[in-house]
Structure 1
Amino acid sequence: MRISELIDLPQFNGAELIAGKYGVDREVSTVNMMDAPDIIHFLKKDELLVTTAFHFKDDLDSLLLLIIEMNKQGCSGLGIKTKRFLQEIPKAAISLANELHFPLLELPIYTSLGDIVNKSLSYILDIRTNELHQAMQTHQQFTNHIMSGQGIHKILESLSSLIRLPVVLLNHQLQPIGRKKIHNLKLYENIELLIATGHYFHFPKTTMTAFSLLNETRETITLFPVYTHKQYSYLCTLGSIPLSDRSTILTIKQATNVIAFELMKENALKQNTRRIQNEFFTNFIKGAFSTTEEVISRAKEFEIVNEQRYVCAVGKIDDEEKNLTLMQYQSEQELIYDTIESELQRFHQKIHFFTIDQSYILLMEMKSGWKGIEQPFLSFLKKIQIKISAHFQEELSFGISNYAEQLIQVPTSYKEATDALYYGKMSGKKQFIEIYQPKEVPEILRMVPFDQLKKFYTDTFQAFANEPRRDHQVLLQTLAVYLETHCQMSETAKRLYVHRNTVIYRLEKCEEIIGRSLKEPEETLRLRLAFRIKALIQGNSLHI
């Protein structure tokens, strides 16, 4: 309770506040009575001292020194009984107390200091008991919300109702946890302004922190740290909560305690899910699954579909020696992961996030062509780089693949992204974003939309499909070998283990079916591309 509330008690009848009126909001946690000359060494913060001033009756300097030292230690105030050893409180002491805004009380002669101490302590103890009882009830109420499965959202609703202030739970980057939007406009504007300052990463981690930002509303927001899994979240309220409002602070602390345990449980589940996702992606990339159907089935568990275009980006921290212990390194890696994951929620395209061998893999779903998404995606990656650099003093680089027409082509995209990352580092770049440049014909073909590849392949071999015969597969095999051997008859016969005349006969049959001469350069180029497309499609287990 505060000094102003304490002196209204019956035991302070006749007491007068003669100095330090601007300090009456000082908190009083205990009341003490001492007359020893070395009194100051036994006093505590938020303690009110009452005394007869016996040792100061002929020593004004010691009284002034006592006031100065009590103020330094954060004591609540000083009450002096007059008309016994001191007829009146010296004007110098009154002036000093006013200067320090240190409450100075004049107690009447008939007042019992023992009664003041005993009854004040009893009153304070009753208040603390009520606060503790209320805190226990509040804690039970919040715990019941969790036990009944109502979750953190219900706790925040109840807390907001109890303290009559808007409340939101934020992560270490001041983003709403659980993708809950901030509906209170003033609270949202203040948090956005606080994020813009860039200082939130260095908030105190053990005490509440209040900010009055220089915007139009000049509203105050108060942050209470919520410690979970080696990092802090924040319970944020719109409005100033004075330290003297113990009831409100205790209520909020009960909420933070329950929320902390719930977040730890959610984090454990999240870590397990993350591990399973990473195992799936690692096995997928390494070709550990036996069939395409198994890949597609497993991917559905993580809301990843096969009939979808994807672009793969692989990020990695540039090599730099830092003197970190293993625990510090792991903690930093988790924070980097969480930072990137938080940023993904802000991007308008859906991105699946994995980690492999200290690399961060972003698998972005494409709803349109690459040209329409390229610049927004590059800007998004650049923003992540800037945030990681600012918060962790680490340089993060990215390699980006060509897009994959379907999920089962993603392993190739992953290799392209890692190759782009490798070549970027080999060229001496730092904190770069490198897009993979195709170097082989199949890689160039992969840049063509799948529908167009399929149409080109179908149109080229349509004549064989119109009149399917048993020998068509043999004819196509002969044609493919002939083109791969640069139209050498003898080499074709040798590879097929047939007579040269047999090759000539089969090629003539092919010309009859397709209706074009194999001696035309454009025709042979078309056929060779069609065979390359067929190999590319079948290599990804797609059948047309």
Structure 2
Amino acid sequence: MRLSELLDLPVFNGASLVAGNQGIEREVNTVNMMDAPDIIHFLKKNELLVTTAFHFKDDLHSLLHLIKEMEKQDCSGLGIKTKRFLDQIPDEAVSLANELQLPLLELPIQTSLGDIVNKSLSHILDIRTNELHNAMQTHQQFTNHIMSGQGINKILESLSSLIHLPVVLLNHHLRPAVNNFNQPSIFEHLETLITSGHHLHFSKTTISTFSLLNETRDTITLFPVYSHKQYSYLCILGFIPLSDRSTFLTVEQATNVIAFELMKENALKQNRRRIENEFFTNFINGSFSTNEEIISRGKEFGLLNEQRYVCAVGKLDITEKNISFMQYQSEQELIYDKIESELQLFHQKIHLFTTDHSYILLMQLKGGWKDIEQPFFSLLETLQTKIAIHCQEELSFGISNYAQQLIHIPISYKEATDALYYGNMSGKKKFIEIYQPKEVPEILRMVPYEHLIKFYSDTFQAFANDPNKDHQILLQTLSVYLETHCHLAETAKRLYVHRNTVIYRLEKCEEIIGRSLKEADETLRLRLAFRIKALIQGNSTLDHKSKEMKSSNI
């Protein structure tokens, strides 16, 4: 209780405050009587000391030293009984107490110091007992809300009603964790404000009070709520003085009950997350036997088949870090939570999965891709920035073309991972890469070289076996014919021959191959073979030049 309240007790009738009036609102937790000159060594914070001043009747220096030490120990005040050993409190002591703002009381001679101590302590004890009783009732009230299934929102409503101040629960990203507050703009810059170092006194583990840099200069008080290895915060919109023990105890009961409820919710969340990730992993690995099974299972997680999706796959850029497995798991959990928190603010639904150390974002595409492309890119850039700030990691993304249906998502996932792969291969860091369909030469280079050689040899083996010495001319004619999309007149024009000559040569090609050039599969096979021929000749040229360079160096 405050000193001003304690002085209202009848036992202090006749006492007067002679100095330190500015400290009259100091907290008093205990009252002690000075019975030895070495009391300085036993002083306690928030302690009111009363004395007859017997030890200071001829020693002003010791009295001044006591006042200085009491201020250092943050004591509540000093009461001196006058007219017994001291006729009056020395002016020097009054002046020093005023300077230090330490309350200095003059106690009347008829008042017993024992009565002051006993009745004061009895009154303080009664208050503490009442506070404890109220705290137990409050804790039971909050617990009943949880047991009856009313949840955290009901606790926040009850707490707000009890302390007459708005209350909101913030997650560890300092954003509203439940939808019980209709002014989210107050917290828009809170995370940035604190993490950027503007509030150097902010601590995750202790109560913090400060003003926001908004138009109304709102004062908020944060109470840490520790659960599942991280802190949430019970945010009170208003200033709570440290002397208001009743309010502090009420809020502490709320934080205790909320902490247990958050632990329960986190356990359920982790289990659901595991099930979701198992589904997605089985989905992209082709573990489901039918499309009907995929569609049915997808509905469990809010995924609809008749819905277009864009897939983005994020992965941390490879860095050498010497950390334990538990530290790695904790870091991955922090990154997941940060991504999840940001996705909740996006205006379109995005599903989040993890597999193979990757973070998969499935965005439902309502309109055209061009309408959402820039906002989606901005979201990914925000994620990269937040991960860099909070986790000191660089995150890169690959983005797919959109899937027309749910069952096509594995293809989109492959496109996104390919985009991520080629971005890494090009030496980029912290990038966002959109999947681009590969050109034919790029696709062919992805096939093992020996397989290309075999395909080329098998395709043109019939020409090699033909005794006709003019098969190179036939192949040239066939190549130009395919390049001109099977247009006879254009082929003749490019070869400077008559149209009938082209027809004759193509008929000879059909005889050698044994199949008609009007068959689409055959023309596709021949087109690929000619493309492979160009790659093989290009590689042979490079190998020849390489050998020449080595010879010259020798």
- Alignment partner of 1:314 is 2:313: yes
Residue aligning to 1:191 = 187
Q: Is residue 64–residue 93 contact of structure 2 (8 Å, CA) maintained in 1?
A: yes
Residue aligning to 2:109 = 109
Q: Is residue 18–residue 105 contact of structure 1 (8 Å, CA) maintained in 2?
A: yes
Paired amino acid for 2:427: G
Q: Is residue 221–residue 238 contact of structure 2 (8 Å, CA) maintained in 1?
A: yes
RMSD: 2.9
Q: Secondary structure at the match of 1:210?
A: strand
CA distance in 1, matches of 2:126, 2:144: 27
Kindly state the Cα deviation for residue 331 of structure 1 after the two structures are TM-superposed: 2.2
Residue aligning to 1:477 = none
C-alpha spacing 1:137/1:49, structure 2 compared with 1 (3 Å)? same
Paired amino acid for 1:199: T
CA distance in 2, matches of 1:493, 1:156: 87
Residue aligning to 2:492 = none
Residue aligning to 2:359 = 360
C-alpha spacing 1:327/1:12, structure 2 compared with 1 (3 Å)? farther
Residue aligning to 1:246 = 245
Kindly state the Cα deviation for residue 196 of structure 1 after the two structures are TM-superposed: 4.6
Q: Mark the runs of 5 or more structure 2 residues left unpaired by the alignment.
A: 444-481, 487-505, 528-554
Q: Is residue 152–residue 261 contact of structure 2 (8 Å, CA) maintained in 1?
A: yes
Kindly state the Cα deviation for residue 32 of structure 1 after the two structures are TM-superposed: 1.1
Kindly state the Cα deviation for residue 181 of structure 1 after the two structures are TM-superposed: 5.4
Alignment of 1:477-516 (within 5 A): none
C-alpha spacing 1:440/1:89, structure 2 compared with 1 (3 Å)? same
Paired amino acid for 2:193: T
Alignment of 1:360-439 (within 5 A): 360-439=359-438
Residue aligning to 2:123 = 123
Q: Secondary structure at the match of 1:149?
A: coil
Q: Secondary structure at the match of 2:348?
A: coil
C-alpha spacing 1:323/1:240, structure 2 compared with 1 (3 Å)? farther
Alignment of 1:176-325 (within 5 A): 176-178=176-178, 180=179, 182-183=181-182, 185=183, 188-199=184-195, 203-325=202-324
Q: Relative to structure 2, which stretch is displaced further, 61-70 or 319-328? A: 319-328
Q: Secondary structure at the match of 1:177?
A: coil
Residue aligning to 1:147 = 147
Q: Relative to structure 2, which stretch is displaced further, 295-304 or 412-421? A: 412-421
The CA deviation string for residues 8-54 of structure 1, in whole angstroms up to 9 with x for no partner, is 11111111111111111111111111232221221221111112222
Q: Secondary structure at the match of 1:227?
A: strand
Q: Relative to structure 2, which stretch is displaced further, 42-51 or 140-149? A: 42-51
CA distance in 1, matches of 2:207, 2:77: 25
Q: Mark the runs of 5 or more structure 1 residues left unpaired by the alignment.
A: 445-482, 508-517, 529-544
TM-score normalised over the length of structure 2: 0.78
C-alpha spacing 1:119/1:351, structure 2 compared with 1 (3 Å)? same
CA distance in 2, matches of 1:96, 1:420: 75
Residue aligning to 2:73 = 73
CA distance in 2, matches of 1:68, 1:181: 49
CA distance in 1, matches of 2:63, 2:307: 82
C-alpha spacing 1:144/1:20, structure 2 compared with 1 (3 Å)? same
Q: Is residue 312–residue 360 contact of structure 2 (8 Å, CA) maintained in 1?
A: yes
CA distance in 1, matches of 2:241, 2:407: 58
Paired amino acid for 1:352: H
Q: Is residue 277–residue 355 contact of structure 2 (8 Å, CA) maintained in 1?
A: yes
Paired amino acid for 1:32: N
Kindly state the Cα deviation for residue 268 of structure 1 after the two structures are TM-superposed: 0.4
Q: Is residue 420–residue 434 contact of structure 1 (8 Å, CA) maintained in 2?
A: yes
Residue aligning to 2:157 = 157
C-alpha spacing 1:111/1:402, structure 2 compared with 1 (3 Å)? same
Q: Is residue 353–residue 363 contact of structure 1 (8 Å, CA) maintained in 2?
A: yes
Kindly state the Cα deviation for residue 301 of structure 1 after the two structures are TM-superposed: 0.7
Identity %: 75
C-alpha spacing 1:323/1:211, structure 2 compared with 1 (3 Å)? farther
Q: Relative to structure 2, which stretch is displaced further, 27-36 or 61-70? A: 61-70
CA distance in 2, matches of 1:341, 1:83: 72
Kindly state the Cα deviation for residue 439 of structure 1 after the two structures are TM-superposed: 0.6
CA distance in 1, matches of 2:211, 2:293: 56
Paired amino acid for 1:20: G
Q: Secondary structure at the match of 1:240?
A: coil
CA distance in 2, matches of 1:128, 1:491: 105
C-alpha spacing 1:200/1:221, structure 2 compared with 1 (3 Å)? farther
